[in-house]
Homo-oligomer: A and B are copies of this chain.
Amino acid sequence: MAELLTERKTQIAEKATLLFKERGYAATSMRDLAAAIGIEAASLYSHLRSKEELLQRICFGMAEAFFTARDQVNSLQLPAPIKLRLAIEKHVEVVTNDVNASAVFLHEWRHLSEPELSIFKSMRREYEEYLTAILQEGKAAGQFNIPNEKLTVLTLLSSLNWLYDWYRPDGNLQPHEIAMQLADQVLNGLITNK
């Protein structure tokens, strides 16, 4: 009995994530979600309190996954270029592990209400600062050529984040291979023979 309830909750969460990704949060109605599952809209409310609760779970669940990745990277003492490679690999793992949730996390967070919205923004800033610190480390050690760290970190993040739109779990590239190619591109650039 408890298991069935949990299964239903999981089903609702997954379908909501998919619909929020495909149509956007605001354009997805609870009736859409209920119909996709095969129940009435009102029945959803025995499993959740509000539509926004679904969005909150997705956004903060992803944020947690990114923080776990960060903590793993920061637990090691590594030279900046190697550390950046590892950070890229871990980030790619998080994104490819749930591309639907990643898409919602990236595009729909602005529909959060306060105080969740402010909390979310500060968490995102914290993650940017973690990557910026690696860049600064490598710059200070003369390993990185970075005129503007803010520009570089946002470029890096956007490069990593569009993966949700492109990655296919059944494609021929594994997350690890993707991460390696992305890291090579970021670290060495496109020009051959240096």
Q: Which chain A residues have a beta carbon within 8 Å of chain B's beta carbons?
A: 22-27, 81, 84, 107, 110-111, 135, 138, 142-148, 150-152, 154-155, 157-159, 161-162, 165-166, 173, 178, 181-182, 184-192, 194
B144 lies within 8 A of A192 (CB): yes
What residues of B have a CB within 8 angstroms of the CB of A143 in the complex? Answer: 191-192
Copies of this chain, whole number: 2
What residues of B have a CB within 8 angstroms of the CB of A27 in the complex? Answer: 26, 111
Question: Which one of B148, B165, B189 contacts A189 once the chains associate, using CB atoms below 8 Å?
Answer: B189
What residues of B have a CB within 8 angstroms of the CB of A157 in the complex? Answer: 162
B155 lies within 8 A of A190 (CB): no
B151 lies within 8 A of A166 (CB): yes
Residue of B nearest to A138 (CB): B190
> In the complex where A26-B24, A186-B190, A192-B144 touch, is A158 in contact with B151 (Cβ < 8 A)?
no
Question: Which one of B24, B166, B189 contacts A186 once the chains associate, using CB atoms below 8 Å?
Answer: B189
What residues of B have a CB within 8 angstroms of the CB of A25 in the complex? Answer: 24
The docked-state distance in angstroms from the alpha carbon of A26 to that of B20 is 12
- A30 CB to nearest B CB, Å: 14
- Residue contacts A-B, CB under 8 angstroms, 19 given: A24-B26, A27-B111, A81-B191, A135-B190, A143-B191, A144-B191, A145-B188, A145-B191, A146-B190, A147-B181, A147-B184, A151-B173, A152-B190, A155-B162, A157-B162, A158-B159, A185-B189, A187-B189, A187-B190
